[in-house]
Structure 1
Amino acid sequence: MPKVTAEYRAAKRDEIIDAATRCFAAKGYQRTSMADIIDEAGLSAGAIYGHFAGKKELFAAAAGKVLEARQSELAARSADREPLSPGEVIAVLIEGIRRVPFSGVIVQLWAEAAVDPEIRELVAGVLSRIRETVRTHLAEWAAAAPGRVDGDPDAWAHRVAPVVIGLAPGFMIQRVVAPGFDEEAYLAALPEMLPH
Structure 2
Amino acid sequence: MPKVTEQYREAKREEIADAALRCFAKKGFGASMADIIAESGLSAGAIYGHFSSKAEVMSAVARSVMGTRIEDMQTLRTRERTPSPAEVVTRILSALEVDLAGTGLLLQVWGESVTDPSIHAIVDGVFGELRKSYEQIFAEWVIAERGLGETEAKHWASSLAAVAIGLGQGYIAQSALFPDFDGIAYLATASELLPH
Change (3 A) 1:148 1:86: farther
The one-letter code of the counterpart of 1:195 is: P
What's the CA shift for 1:180?
1.1
Paired AA for residue 82 in structure 2: P
What's 2:161 paired with? 161
**How many residue pairs are counted as aligned between the two chains?**
195
For 1:2, the equivalent position in structure 2 comes to 2
* 1:49 aligns to 2:48 (yes or no): yes
Question: Deviations 1:100-155 (Å, cap 9, x if unpaired)?
Answer: 23632001111111122221111111111111111111111111123469961112
Check conservation: 1:22, 1:102, Cα contact below 8 A: no
Instruction: Give the equivalent residue in structure 2 for 1:93.
Output: 92
Note if contact 2:107-2:173 (Cα within 8 Å) is conserved in structure 1: yes
- Give the conservation status (yes or no) of the 8 Å contact 1:34–1:55: yes
Gaps of 5+ in 1: none
Corresponding position: 1:178 with 2:178? yes
Q: Name 1:28's counterpart in structure 2.
A: 28
Q: TM-score, normalised by structure 1?
A: 0.92
Percentage of matched positions with identical amino acids: 44
Q: Which amino acid aligns with 1:95?
A: S
Q: Distance in 2 between matches of 1:147 and 1:170?
A: 31
Taking the TM superposition and a 5 Å limit, the aligned residue runs for 1:75-154 are: 75-100=74-99, 101=101, 103-147=103-147, 152-154=152-154
CA contact (8 A) 2:103 2:176 kept: no
| Partners of 1:88 and 1:190 within 8 A in 2 | no
What do the CA deviations read for 1:41-84 (whole angstroms, capped 9, x no partner)? 11111211111121111111111111121123233344434212
Decide which structure has greater helix share. Answer: 2
Structure 2 length normalisation: TM-score? 0.92
Q: Structure 2 vs 1, CA of residues 11 and 150 (structure 1 numbering), >3 Å: closer, same or farther?
A: closer
Whether the aligned pair in 1 keeps the contact of 2:112 and 2:119 (CA below 8 Å) is: yes
CA-based RMSD of the aligned residues comes to 1.8
Give the residue type in structure 2 aligned to 1:160.
L
Q: What is the aligned partner in structure 2 of residue 74 from structure 1?
A: 73
Does the 8 A contact of 2:74 with 2:133 survive in 1?
Answer: no
Question: Is 1:37 the equivalent of 2:36?
Answer: yes
